[in-house]
Structure 1
Amino acid sequence: MSQIAAILVFALALLTMVVAMLLWTRARTRERQEEVLLRLRAGADAAGLAGIGGEVQRVENPLLRWVCHLVWRTGADTDPGMIARWLIAFVLLVPVAIVLMGWLAGLVAILIVLTITWAVLARQAARRRAQIIDQLPDFLESVSRVLSAGNSLEESLIASAQEAHDPLRGLFVSVGRQIRLGASVDAVLAEMAEIHRLRDLQVMAMAATINRRYGGSLRDIFRSLVQAIRSRDMAARELRALTAETRFSAVVLAVIPVGLMLYILARNPEYYSDMWADSGGRMMLIGSALMQVAGVVVIWRMIAGVQDGEA
């Protein structure tokens, strides 16, 4: 009974801490919004607006920046403060899981939740990235047509974004919004290329930088980029066809050991419990689990390497 009371007190303390962090973060956000409104009322110019926007989106913490980029790649327009609150809440729940489930089961449960969350986000981000790359040639041709009418690159990107389809439309609408606030088009494109891991946007950013400093024809660069994207897409389709059997074999090799373990666990649950009770069996189970994880990581990196070659 005392142990249950201690767990309840511990959980209540963690809940109080989470509420305090949320209130503190909300107060800081409201204070920052009030500062922005005061600057707007004072007549801040476009450059000042761009600086404010940069402060809101700039993330200094490496872990928080990695998580923010992973979430933003899925198309979610989530504020970094909200993502930071999610991370704080998850970290505070880790001791609760360890206390309630034990250190081994708690750590395993936490790793499973992290792995599933990362896999879902990464899958959604990869799907959205493939759609953006597929829509990019038509978008660049539209930008070239608007450029031919005598418009600037900024105006061409904003006008073409209105006619594009999602998810490319949402991406370049965000680019246009930042450009209107005073940010340079090459800096915005470079930032989007880093967040979404799109090398074609990096090429567009370099082309915009060269055009701004030394001049030149952006239409010729975009025309060459469209041809390169379409040629790469054809090569990627051929590569996927040639490596389909290899990729299927890799997936089978990764799934069979896990399926066999689950089958043995269902048919004879005492098998693994007896091994875990013995020191040698425990080392064998831990070693096999580590080798299985390493094998899955290697196989995933091989498949990811093929997919990176496509993009």
Structure 2
Amino acid sequence: MSLVFVLLFAVVLFAAAVVLVLRASERERQEDVGLRLRVLGGGEEAASTLAQMDAARQIRNPVLRWACHLIWRTGVELTPTAVLRILIALVLLIPLALLLFGVLTGLALVAMLLVIGWFLLVQKAARRRAKIIEQFPSFLESTIRVLAAGNTLDEALSSASREAPDPIKPLFVSIGRQVRLGAPLEAVLMETAEIHQLRDLKIMALAAAINRKFGGSLRNVLRSLISGIRSRDNAARELRALTAETRFSALVLAVIPIALMFYIVWQNPDYYTQMWAETRGRILLAGSIILQVAGVLVIWRMMKSTEEA
């Protein structure tokens, strides 16, 4: 028990040190943003956008970058500092759960909460991404109409975004703000495509880069992109219909062992405790957890590869 208290105290001290470092770096970044805004001009919204641009490009920690991208894909625009504070709070939950519920139950509870939170974020991001892809052809058609009037691509995107519905509107409004603050359009499009996993936006970024260097007609490229998106959407709908039974079977295979475990715990709470008390039981429990996680990952990857195809 004393070891748990020492671990909890160490984690709290580490979190306090990280918070102090974050406040110092945030103050320095705000001073830099204020200096640049006095040169460029702009209001509070421009300051927020510029700060987010700088913070997003300065992420070095791969875990923090992954968490930021996962949250940004859901449409929630949190700064990396806020995301890091959430991660620190989650880390503090581990010794607290161990202290309140014990080692085995606490680890299982924390793992279950993390998996459920990750699953909810992924599902929300997937629904938002599907909605953006569904709205993308209509958005590109509006962009082509503005381009036909002799406007540049960034002006066409800004004009089309004002009339676009959510969630594609805030995405391209953010892109327009970054371009107005001096970022290259193709770089912003490519970075947004990487964050939100939009391959069509990558094609658009490549087309914008080629058009900037060598010229050419963007309207023909965008028309081809619209045709490709709609053809791919029809093929994806047909593929989902053909694989519906297989995907349901995979879901049942993944859920049944977990549901059976909860049923055993409900009927006989001491069952796993007795197994954990013996060396052979611990080996069997650890092996079953590893095999279950590996099986779920394999099934998920198979379903994911089918959707990507």
Give me the TM-score of the superposition, normalised by structure 2. 0.89
Residue type of the partner of 1:160?
A
Q: Is structure 2 residue 289 aligned with structure 1 residue 292?
A: no
Aligned pairs for 1:176-191 (under 5 A) are 176-191=176-191
> Paired residues, what number?
303
Cα displacement (A) at 1:280: 2.1
Residue 53 of structure 1, CA deviation: 6.1
Q: Is the 8 A contact 2:132 2:168 kept in 1?
A: yes
Post-superposition CA distance 1:70-122 (Å, at most 9, x none):
01000011001111122223223433333443333332222222211111111
Structure 1 residues 186 and 39: CA distance shift in structure 2, 3 A: closer
Per the alignment, residue 27 of structure 2 pairs with 30
Task: Give the Cα–Cα distance (whole angstroms) in 1 for the partners of residues 100 and 166 of structure 2.
Answer: 44
Q: Distance in 1 between matches of 2:219 and 2:70?
A: 32
Q: Secondary structure at the match of 2:166?
A: coil
Q: Deviations over 1:122-147 (max 9, x none)?
A: 11100000000000000001100100
* Structure 1 counterpart SS, 2:136: helix
Shift of the 146–80 alpha-carbon distance from structure 1 to 2, 3 Å rule, reads: same
In structure 1, the gaps of 5 or more residues are none
Match of 1:151 in 2: 151
* TM-score (norm: length of structure 1): 0.88
**Contact 2:52–2:79 (CA<8 Å) still a contact in 1?**
no
Counterpart of 1:90, as a letter, is L
Look up the match of 2:255.
Answer: 255
Per-residue CA distance 1:9-31 (angstroms, 9 max, x = gap):
87577556645643553343234
Deviation at 1:255, TM superposition (A): 1.3
Moved more, 51-60 or 206-215: 51-60
- The alignment's C-alpha RMSD in Å is 2.5
Deviates more, 1:272-281 or 1:187-196: 272-281
2:50 counterpart of 1:56:
no
Match in the other structure for 1:40 = 37
Q: Kindly state the Cα deviation for residue 291 of structure 1 after the two structures are TM-superposed.
A: 1.0
* Deviation larger for 276-285 or 211-220: 276-285
Whichever residue aligns with residue 22 of structure 2, its letter is: T
Q: What are the residue-to-residue correspondences of 1:189-204 with 2, within 5 Å?
A: 189-204=189-204
Deviations 1:207-240 (A, max 9, x none): 0011111111111001011010000111011001
Task: In structure 2, give the amino acid aligned to 1:274.
Answer: Q
* Structure 1 CA distance for aligned equivalents of residues 143 and 72 of structure 2: 25
Structure 2: how far apart are the matches of 1:117 and 1:179?
34
Distance of 1:8 and 1:288 partners within structure 2: 31
Give the 5 Å matches for 1:61-210: 61-210=61-210
- Report the CA distance shift for 1:214/1:38 in structure 2 as closer, same or farther (over 3 A): closer
| Distance in structure 2 (CA, Å) of the matches to 1:13 and 1:264 | 37
Q: Which region of structure 1 is more displaced relative to structure 2, 114-123 or 18-27?
A: 18-27
Distance (whole Å) between structure 1 residues aligned to residue 17 and residue 255 of structure 2: 44
Corresponding residue of 1:301: 301
Cα distance between partner residues in 1 of 2:214 and 2:36: 35
Partners of 1:53 and 1:266 lie apart in 2 by 47
Percent identity between matched residues is 55
Cα deviations by residue, 1:178-207 (Å, 9 ceiling, x for unpaired): 010111111111001000000000000000
Contact kept? 2:4, 2:99, Cα under 8 Å: yes
Question: Whole-Å Cα distance in 2 between the matches of residues 232 and 97 of structure 1?
Answer: 46
Query: In structure 2, what is the equivalent of residue 219 of structure 1?
Result: 219
Task: Give the Cα–Cα distance (whole angstroms) in 2 for the partners of residues 234 and 221 of structure 1.
Answer: 20
Equivalents in 1 of 2:278, 2:9: separation in Å? Answer: 38
Amino acid at match of 1:229: I
Name the SS for the 1:269 alignment partner: coil
How far apart in 1 are the matches of 2:268 and 2:249? 28
Indicate conservation of the 8 Å contact 2:4/2:95, yes or no: no
* Distance of aligned partners of 1:32 and 1:274 in 2 relative to their CA distance in 1, 3 Å threshold: closer
